[in-house]
């Protein structure tokens, strides 16, 4: 029941917000905020209970909660939702960024407010659904439905070139999603043929026996869908357009949540369902992610449009996530999760900053900026902080995540680990570039702007606190997600190990790296010990 | 014929009697409302009487040699009667604006439904042809119903000429098959196909010519030339009728003739259908991309959609037939809703067919635009709509039969198709054109929502979302309907050339 509540609450809230938009401009905003806050309260209660149960050593089954009832019996489709530490954290992130998005568009959005908040809440509903769905059909259902409100959000409230951007975004993601549908159906029939049970249930489909070629093609279907969302380099071209043309709230949702959905898919579905195929494909995927890390950063540096620059940095950061996912050891996975969370916050904050800036100077061209620190010291300071977060300054969440991923990747491939580290250097360049071009230097256009107002400061402060928390005490997050990753790795181990006794670089055995994890967990939370650069 | 046979045929008889009743009522007193109500009553009665064929024992449902009112026929006939019901209700609003004679339209629409129903129930070339001609003749008149409109008459004549030609092909094909096999009854044909020493070439030519006739009615490539002009020229409810009832009847027959009686055992026939399916999907979608007229877009999109249905047809097996029936139902609901909305938006002088008519519709009429958006999403196959489950079913059937290349083409086309559905949606959510611009253009059409059409559209939306969210009921119904699909005994001896 609680699980249904977690997404249905937003569905209801969205409809109420839409209707209430008829009477007042403020109703939809307050309704959205109210619904989000209540949702957050429920999440925090679940979270605290879970952490308490963890520390007390009470662990009942792999899920914190689950629900499973028949839905479309003809195909063996179940309405199956489940929550574990991994999805819980991502749902908390979704809600958090939802609140930030509402707050950030409090003044920026002045027309069709009801419909705007409807779309905003429905995006969240679909994303929460994706994180909860444990039936592949249901997963695909939420996956596709997420596009519609996002499409409206960008298409109606976006900037100049929005029609082109939305079409590109929609067609890219839809087409790739359909390949996933093919793969899901392929898996369904393969499983049905070999076991006689036709089901879309995730846990039942784990470890489906199939030939190497079949597994490869099915894996590829998932890979394309998640790769487009993440996005991976050859299929990333929708991202800069969509991010740039989206309104602030849309960019926050896109960068903070939609990209995470792709990463979540890799970790939750693709690798556990097709461990063999995934690991044999891993070199390609990891090279692609390293290419993404470097390419995203280099192209970001070349941008003159500030928002586009931030968009490209996402490609770079998400490369680390994919790298971590394919390294598939506890460290790398935990790291990937922390990057997902902290990237959501830092990039979300940067997009909000760019939005604030655009509201004031009506341009995103960095050529027209410069010297803004003098007129807006508060905004400059926050921009500084989030740029530092983006370049991976120790003490901020992004650093913890990226360093954990690198630790994990070193165990799998030293070369890739080293090349990925170069990403840090390029990240430093573009992050400092933002500050240099926009906030320092000469105020050539003689801007006289009003600085952040209390609402905007509040948003920024909350984001800063979140990032600092993850940077200084990531243990909360590590504790919450540990068991979830362990379970997934156990499944994979069960399937993978019999064929690979002398497991290669992959430490698929969860027991083996318990030690490393413990020693590192205690070591790395003192970030002041050293800057890796 | 026994009395049980009669009660099995009751739905068709009610359908046949209704036009006569309307004709008499017109002779007594011309009244638009009365004719409309009589038509709706007749359809309702026919729908209720569909229970009769289900009540008689299965053996009595077959009325050899011409018809078979098995559960499969009952499902399709029910679907078509329901579609006609909705279209009749929508036509009422449309005809209110028309100044000529309105009442005869109802006679035609019900005759068309009768033709389509006979088509589905037929198990013999004669009933096949009769059904087809009843349908076609009523369509000629319906398409050209608004005689004052040149485009409308042009469309009617175009359809008349091409349909007559395709009927000739069909007849010739039937004659060839008859010449070789000596029978026109489907079960007998299926039986005799197994006999040794047949001239396969002649049979294949015969069936190919039959495919021409079927392909024309379905509007699939390369027999699609008429679709855009006719869709555009015909009154909006009639376009809806062509897209749903007329094509649906033919799909019902196609599945029955070729699958129940195993004509698809010939690999060359399968090849022909594969080529038709692929060409329809690609050409339909590509040409739709280039259009700026919503009715033409719908025409090309219907070419593509029937290409999709052919994938289910080629997948065959119970799953394929179920997928075809489900997809068709979903498509019916969606396309009727689409043309229903176009009907509502159309004014006295012209129809809302240019994409410009939809500019900023959401800001002028949020409800109509929202409803139309849902229809577009259903056509594109986005979740929460029937179109999504339909597409899922099709892909599942294709994957089940390992038709990978067809399924991948379907997927690519589905993405292509998104572009033009989204284009329409984009227009609806664009800003108002500014004052100076809009002064030059014609004022936006005022929509005419009557109580009936409004209610009907809400009903359609209700089904659309029901089938999209909880399709289990419909799947169960289809499954039990397919159970009546009595596969003829398969005889393959030395057939495949």
With CA atoms as reference, the chain A residue closest to B384 would be A145
Tens digit of each residue's pLDDT (9 = 90 or more) over A220-251: 999 999 999 888 888 888 998 888 888 888 89
With CA atoms as reference, the chain B residue closest to A148 would be B382
For helices A162-195 and B404-428, what crossing angle results, to 10°?
150
In degrees, rounded to 5, the angle at the alpha carbon of residue B460 between the alpha carbons of residues B456 and B464 is: 170
Burial of B493 (0-12, 13-18, 19+ CB in 10 A): exposed
Q: Say yes or no: B168 contacts chain A, CB-CB below 8 A.
A: no
Mutate to test the interface with B, among A185, A213, A224 (most CBs of B within 10 A): A185
Residues 188-217 of A with CB under 8 A from B: 188-189
The mean per-residue pLDDT over the stretch A248-268 comes to: 90
Tens digit of each residue's pLDDT (9 = 90 or more) over A293-345: 999 989 988 888 888 999 999 899 999 999 999 988 888 999 999 999 999 99
Quick one: which of A342, A349, A307 has its CA closest to A460?
A: A349
Higher pLDDT, A506 or B29: B29
Alpha carbons A52 and A47: distance in angstroms, whole number: 9
Ordered DSSP codes for A289-343: HHHHHHHHHHHHHT-SBHHHHHHHHHHHHHHHHHHHHHH-SHHHHHHHHHHHHHH
Alpha helices in A413-511 (DSSP H): 414-434, 454-472, 475-496
Residues of A in contact with B383 (CB under 8 A): 141-142, 144-145
Beta carbons of A151 and B407 less than 8 Å apart? no
Tens digit of each residue's pLDDT (9 = 90 or more) over A25-68: 888 899 999 999 999 999 999 999 998 888 887 766 788 888 99
Residues of B in contact with A163 (CB under 8 A): 426
Quick one: which of A297, A450, A456, A441 has its CA closest to A369?
A: A441
With CA atoms as reference, the chain B residue closest to A171 would be B415
Beta bridge partners of A69: A79
Q: Say yes or no: A48 contacts chain B, CB-CB below 8 A.
A: no
In this structure, what token pair is assigned to residue B472?
A: 């289990």
Mark the ranges of chain B whose per-residue pLDDT is less than 50.
435-436, 438-440, 491-497
Per-residue pLDDT at A530 exceeds 60: no
Q: What is the pLDDT of residue A105?
A: 87
Residues 400-439 of B with CB under 8 A from A: 400, 407-408, 411-412, 414-415, 418-419, 422-423, 426, 429
Question: Using CB atoms, which residue from A144, A155, A189 is nearest to B382?
Answer: A144
Q: Say yes or no: A75 contacts chain B, CB-CB below 8 A.
A: yes
**Distance to chain B for A347, nearest Cα, Å:** 29
Q: Say yes or no: B382 contacts chain A, CB-CB below 8 A.
A: yes
The mean per-residue pLDDT over the stretch A264-284 comes to: 90
Question: Using CB atoms, which residue from B411, B418, B471 is nearest to A182?
Answer: B411
Contact A64, A83 (CB under 8 A): yes
Residues of B in contact with A71 (CB under 8 A): 470, 472
Quick one: which of B90, B355, B40 has its CA closest to B239?
A: B90
With CA atoms as reference, the chain A residue closest to B467 would be A72
Alpha carbons A281 and A211: distance in angstroms, whole number: 15
Higher pLDDT, B309 or A449: B309
What is the maximum alpha-carbon separation in chain B?
A: 78
Which residue matches tokens 């190497």? A212
Does a cis peptide bond (omega within 30 degrees of 0) precede residue B222? yes
The mean per-residue pLDDT over the stretch A421-434 comes to: 86
Question: Using CB atoms, which residue from B384, B395, B412 is nearest to A181?
Answer: B395
Burial of A411 (0-12, 13-18, 19+ CB in 10 A): middle
Mutate to test the interface with A, among B319, B411, B420 (most CBs of A within 10 A): B411
The mean per-residue pLDDT over the stretch A88-97 comes to: 93
Q: Say yes or no: A157 contacts chain B, CB-CB below 8 A.
A: no
Mutate to test the interface with B, among A73, A118, A176, A182 (most CBs of B within 10 A): A182
Quick one: which of A258, A260, A256, A326 has its CA closest to A290?
A: A326
Q: What is the ipTM of this complex?
A: 0.87
Question: Using CB atoms, which residue from A71, A151, A167 is nearest to B419?
Answer: A167
Residues of A in contact with B471 (CB under 8 A): 72, 74
Per-residue pLDDT at A419 exceeds 50: yes
Q: Say yes or no: A15 contacts chain B, CB-CB below 8 A.
A: no
Q: Say yes or no: B270 contacts chain A, CB-CB below 8 A.
A: no
What percent of chain A is modeled with pLDDT above 90? 35
**Distance to chain B for A389, nearest Cα, Å:** 38
With CA atoms as reference, the chain B residue closest to A170 would be B418
Beta carbons of A185 and B399 less than 8 Å apart? yes
3-state secondary structure at position B347: coil
Tens digit of each residue's pLDDT (9 = 90 or more) over B53-71: 888 888 888 888 889 898 9
Q: Chain centroid to CA B478: how far?
A: 17
Q: What is the pLDDT of residue B164?
A: 93
Per-residue pLDDT at A525 exceeds 50: no
Contact B249, B306 (CB under 8 A): no
Quick one: which of A435, A428, A434, A433 has its CA closest to A533?
A: A428
Residue A447 — very low, low, confident or very high, per pLDDT cuts 50/70/90? confident
Element (H, E) at B271: helix B267-289
Per-residue pLDDT at A511 exceeds 80: no
**Distance to chain B for A446, nearest Cα, Å:** 34
Alpha carbons A480 and A475: distance in angstroms, whole number: 8
Per-residue pLDDT at A147 exceeds 70: yes
* pTM for the full predicted model: 0.90
Backbone dihedral angles phi then psi of residue A105, each to the nearest 5 degrees: -100, 15
Contact B77, B54 (CB under 8 A): no
**Distance to chain A for B451, nearest Cα, Å:** 23
């Amino acid at each position: 029941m609680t699980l249904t509540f977690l997404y249905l609450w937003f569905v209801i809230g969205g409809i109420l917000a839409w209707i209430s938009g008829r009477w007042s401009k403020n109703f939809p905003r307050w309704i959205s905020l109210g619904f989000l806050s209540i949702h957050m309260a429920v999440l925090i209660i679940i979270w605290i209970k879970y952490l308490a149960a963890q520390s007390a050593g009470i662990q009942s089954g792999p899920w914190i909660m689950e629900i499973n009832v028949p839905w479309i019996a003809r195909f063996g489709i179940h309405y199956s939702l489940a929550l574990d530490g991994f999805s819980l954290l991502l749902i908390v992130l979704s809600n958090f960024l939802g609140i930030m998005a509402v707050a950030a568009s409090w003044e920026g959005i002045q027309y069709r407010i009801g419909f705007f908040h409807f779309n905003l809440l429905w995006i969240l509903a679909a994303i929460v659904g994706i994180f909860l769905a444990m039936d592949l059909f249901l997963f695909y259902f939420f996956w596709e439905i997420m596009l519609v409100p996002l499409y409206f959000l960008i298409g109606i409230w976006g900037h100049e070139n929005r029609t082109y951007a939305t079409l590109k975004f929609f067609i890219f993601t839809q087409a790739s999603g359909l390949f996933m549908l093919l793969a899901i159906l392929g898996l369904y029939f393969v499983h049905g043929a070999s076991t006689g049970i036709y089901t879309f249930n995730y846990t039942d489909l784990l470890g489906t026996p199939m030939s190497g070629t079949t597994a490869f093609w099915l894996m590829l279907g998932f890979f394309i869908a998640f790769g487009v969302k993440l996005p991976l380099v050859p299929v990333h071209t929708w991202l800069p357009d969509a991010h740039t043309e989206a309104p602030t709230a849309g960019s926050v949702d896109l960068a903070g949540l939609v990209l995470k959905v792709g990463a979540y898919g890799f970790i939750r579905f693709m690798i556990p369902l097709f461990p063999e195929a995934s690991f044999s494909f891993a070199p390609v995927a990891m090279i692609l992610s390293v290419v993404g890390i470097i390419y995203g950063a280099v192209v970001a540096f070349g941008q003159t449009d500030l928002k586009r620059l931030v968009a490209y940095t996402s490609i770079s950061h998400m490369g680390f996530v994919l790298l971590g996912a394919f390294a598939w050891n506890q460290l790398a996975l935990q790291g990937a999760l922390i990057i997902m969370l902290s990237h959501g916050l830092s990039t979300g904050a940067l997009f909000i900053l760019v939005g604030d800036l655009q509201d004031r100077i009506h341009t995103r061209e960095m050529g027209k900026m410069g010297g803004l620190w003098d007129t807006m010291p508060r905004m400059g300071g926050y921009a500084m902080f989030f740029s530092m977060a983006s370049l991976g300054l120790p003490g901020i969440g992004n650093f913890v995540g990226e360093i954990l991923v690198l630790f994990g990747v070193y165990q799998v491939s030293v070369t890739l680990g080293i090349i990925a580290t170069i990403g840090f250097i390029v990240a430093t360049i573009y992050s400092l570039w933002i500050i240099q071009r926009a906030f320092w230097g000469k105020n050539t256009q003689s801007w006289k702007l009003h600085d952040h107002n209390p609402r905007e400061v509040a948003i920024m402060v909350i984001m800063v606190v979140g990032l600092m928390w993850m940077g200084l005490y990531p243990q909360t997050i590590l504790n919450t997600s540990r068991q979830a990753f362990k379970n997934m790795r156990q499944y994979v181990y069960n399937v993978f190990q019999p064929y690979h006794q002398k497991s290669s670089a992959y430490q698929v055995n969860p027991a083996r790296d318990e030690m490393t994890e413990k020693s590192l967990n205690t070591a790395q939370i003192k970030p002041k010990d050293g800057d890796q650069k | 014929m026994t009395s049980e046979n009669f009660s099995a045929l009751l739905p068709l008889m009610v359908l046949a009697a209704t036009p006569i009743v309307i004709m008499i009522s017109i002779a007594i007193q011309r009244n638009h409302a009365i004719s409309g109500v009589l038509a709706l009553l007749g359809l309702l009665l026919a729908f209720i009487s569909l229970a009769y064929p289900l009540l008689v024992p299965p053996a009595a449902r077959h009325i050899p040699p011409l018809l078979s009112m098995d559960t499969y026929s009952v499902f399709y006939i029910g679907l078509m009667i329901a579609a006609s019901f909705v279209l009749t209700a929508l036509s009422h609003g449309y005809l209110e604006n028309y100044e000529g004679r309105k009442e005869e339209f109802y006679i035609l629409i019900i005759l068309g439904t009768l033709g389509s129903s006979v088509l589905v129930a037929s198990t013999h070339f004669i009933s096949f042809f009769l059904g087809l001609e009843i349908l076609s003749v009523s369509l000629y008149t319906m398409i050209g119903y608004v005689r004052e409109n040149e485009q409308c008459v042009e469309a009617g004549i175009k359809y008349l000429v091409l349909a007559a030609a395709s009927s000739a092909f069909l007849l010739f094909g039937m004659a060839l098959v008859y010449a070789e096999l000596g029978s026109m009854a489907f079960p007998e044909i299926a039986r005799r196909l197994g006999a040794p020493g047949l001239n396969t070439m002649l049979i294949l030519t015969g069936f190919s010519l039959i495919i021409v006739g079927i392909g024309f009615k379905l509007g699939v490539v390369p027999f699609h030339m008429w679709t855009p002009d006719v869709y555009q020229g015909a009154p909006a409810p009639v376009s809806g009728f062509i897209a749903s009832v007329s094509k649906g009847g033919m799909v019902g027959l196609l599945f029955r003739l070729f699958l129940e009686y195993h004509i698809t055992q010939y690999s060359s026939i399968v090849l022909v259908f594969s080529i038709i399916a692929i060409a329809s999907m690609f050409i339909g979608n590509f040409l739709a991309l280039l259009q700026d007229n919503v009715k033409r877009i719908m025409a090309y999109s219907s070419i593509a959609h029937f290409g999709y249905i052919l994938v289910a047809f080629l997948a065959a097996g119970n799953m394929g037939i179920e997928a075809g029936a489900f997809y068709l139902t979903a498509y019916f609901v969606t396309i009727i809703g689409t043309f229903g909305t176009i009907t509502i938006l159309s004014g006295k002088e012209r129809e809302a067919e240019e994409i410009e008519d939809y500019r900023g519709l959401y800001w002028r009429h949020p409800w109509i635009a929202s409803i139309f958006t849902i229809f577009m999403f259903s056509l594109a196959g986005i979740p929460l709509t029937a179109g999504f489950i339909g597409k899922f079913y099709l892909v599942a059937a294709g994957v089940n039969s390992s038709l990978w290349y067809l399924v991948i083409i379907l997927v690519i086309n589905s993405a292509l198709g998104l572009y033009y559905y989204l284009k329409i949606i984009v227009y609806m959510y664009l800003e108002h054109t500014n004052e100076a611009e809009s002064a030059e253009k014609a004022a936006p059409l005022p929509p005419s929502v009557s109580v009936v059409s409004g209610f009907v559209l809400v009903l359609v939306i209700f089904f659309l979302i029901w089938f999209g969210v909880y399709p289990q009921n419909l799947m169960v119904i289809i499954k039990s309907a397919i159970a009546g699909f009595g596969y003829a005994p398969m005889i393959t001896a030395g057939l495949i050339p």
